[in-house]
Amino acid sequence: MAEIETTDAAGTVSTDVTTIARAWLAQDPDPETRAELEALLDAAEAGSAEAIADLHSRFDSRLAFGTAGLRGRIEAGSARMNRVLVSQAAAGLAAYLLEREAQPSVVIGYDGRKNSAVFARDTAEIMAGAGVRAVLLPRLLPTPVLAFAVRHLDVSAGVMVTASHNPPADNGYKVYLGREDDGSQIVSPTDAEIAAHITRVAAEQNVLELPRSDEFETASEDLLDAYVDATARVMTTPPVELSVVYTAMHGVGWETFSRVAEKAGLVPAVPVAEQQFPDAAFPTVSFPNPEEPGALDLAYAKAREVGAELIVANDPDADRLSIAIPDDSREEGYRQLSGNEVGWLLGWRAARKNEATGTNDGALACSIVSSPALRVVAREYGLEFSETLTGFKWVSRVPNLIFGYEEALGYLVNPETVRDKDGISAAIDFLALASEAKAAGGTVGGMLDDFAEKFGYFASDQLSLRVTDLADISTIMAYLRAEPLQQLGGVKVDEIDDLITGFGRLPATDALRFVLADGSRVMARPSGTEPKIKFYLDVKRPNSKRSEASGVLAAIKADLAEVARRATA
């Protein structure tokens, strides 16, 4: 076989990728990934160019531990998710916690994805073996329950094993910090500090020799009861009889959602039976994300069958929420609301609830790629407004927060309980909003019209360009910086803000903001979790001229697609 010099995950230069792979194999405790890697090595050593290329893709780099933790495809290799990588991550995180505290503690949760329970138990055993008090959740549960547990148990940190709404073959590893961090996800420079410990473990230790202990704790059902009780209190409106269809998207949301809804006094939702319970194969969806085309088809069918007034969808780990409402003009009979529309309505509800307390103290917050509409709501109600970098790790840390969201279906409606996006509490809050509308003789669609009448008509859209060569993302961003856009959709570009060196109070991030002469806005940024570059488009018009918005959005999208094509030609 051809010998290509490479650098392994521990930083050691080798002239043979098979040497690195065999060293990895020697410490892999998983029979499945061992067999997979052995077969790949056999093929590579027999001269298969395809196998050699596959080995390089797995071992030429390491799955980066960043502010989103770890996320990747379950396969053997340092650039994949597997028991070796997770064991190194657990040992590195334990070392970080022990460096910070004399007696650190951690709570560990997991969802229904492949290997989630295995990765969680590995983490608990390694943490306990290192001298960290470890508490494992009693069974697979939603991410918001883990985020709640970090604060409820007053532990140093939390780990959630989940890949959220990623493709079925993926898994991931999210880290939260307790105490002064209030149970929020990690941010820089904590990610780099943890990553340094993980790298040291990978370089110096065989994971089979890491100290392990089964002296970890298992949380009692009281923890889930406490989450259910706290989340049910989000239902501050007297419930009315609503016909609701619910889908868990083959994830872990159904049990917890249904318990919270019952506690809140809501009529039981009708589940989409085919997607009701955890299934790591995700047999009815190729991409278990409520935003993806076709993901809600079964929910639409069930809603038509029962005449539902509302569809509620969680993603597989139930930290995101999607809503659909009846719409006779559509073939499905329902219209899925955008993340921004749900965010506007919940933010408006939060502002009204806050006003009813007799104070105007508090802040509304959203990410830089979310609609500008929430800023208008905050101004109307005399509230603070904060715009954050993309990611709930930033939204959740806004001082005096009463509501925060990001357009990717993430909402935080009860920051005193959970400091992360929570698709279950957000669902309960939205059902409270829908109950309020129905009690007044209205609908959710009518509330959207009321919002446009009061605050103006906001229209949002996205252009997501998936790439096969990751270098194309940098190429497009560099082109946009080198060749500043003069107009988009026939409208002059008035202002370009480059966030790569920071902007205002925002930390630096690889993003560009284009402000158009008519007040429209476009954000461009690489995706943090997928091989995509994303453009976020927002147009505002007076409600009387709302019909203009769709044409402006379409023209801007066409121009951006052409710019991306030229950049990579």
Nearest to 321 by CA among 246, 417, 378, 388: 246
499 exposure class (CB count in 10 Å sphere: 0-12, 13-18, 19+): buried
Q: How far apart are CA 514 and CA 471, in angstroms?
A: 23
Q: What are residue 388's DSSP bridge partners?
A: 367
Whose CA is closest to 104, among 116, 94, 113?
94
The dihedral of CA 549, 553, 554, 559: what is its sign?
positive
Which segments of 122-247 are extended strands (E)?
Answer: 133-136, 157-161, 170-177, 184-185, 217-218, 244-247
Does 329 participate in catalysis according to the annotation?
no
Residue type, 35: A
**Residue environment code for 437-464, b if the CB has 16+ CB neighbours within 10 A, otherwise e:** bbeeeebbeebbeebbeebbbbbbbbbe
d(Cα 33, Cα 76) in Å, to the nearest integer?
A: 5
Q: What does DSSP assign to residue 286?
A: S
DSSP 3-state percent helix, strand, coil across the chain (nearest 5): 40, 20, 40
DSSP SS3 for 343 = helix
Helix (H, G, I), strand (E, B) or coil at 363: strand
The tokens describing 529, both together, are: 């979790």
| CB-CB contact of 466 with 547 (8 Å) | no
Q: Which two tokens stand for residue 23?
A: 């060293």
Nearest to 453 by CA among 463, 439, 442, 462: 442
Q: Whose CA is closest to 327, among 344, 305, 310, 312?
A: 310
d(CA 488, CA 515): 10
Distance CA 27, CA 30 (A): 9
Q: Which structure tokens are listed for 166? A: 């990623």
Distance CA 272, CA 246 (A): 6
| Cβ neighbours, 10 Å, residue 359 | 10
Give me the amino acid identity at 456: G
Cis peptide bond prior to 283, omega within 30° of 0: no
Would strands 184-185 and 217-218 be described as parallel, antiparallel, or unpaired? unpaired
Q: How many CB atoms lie within 10 A of CB 85?
A: 27
Which residue of the set 164, 367, 371, 460 is catalytic? 164
Q: Which residues are catalytically annotated?
A: 164
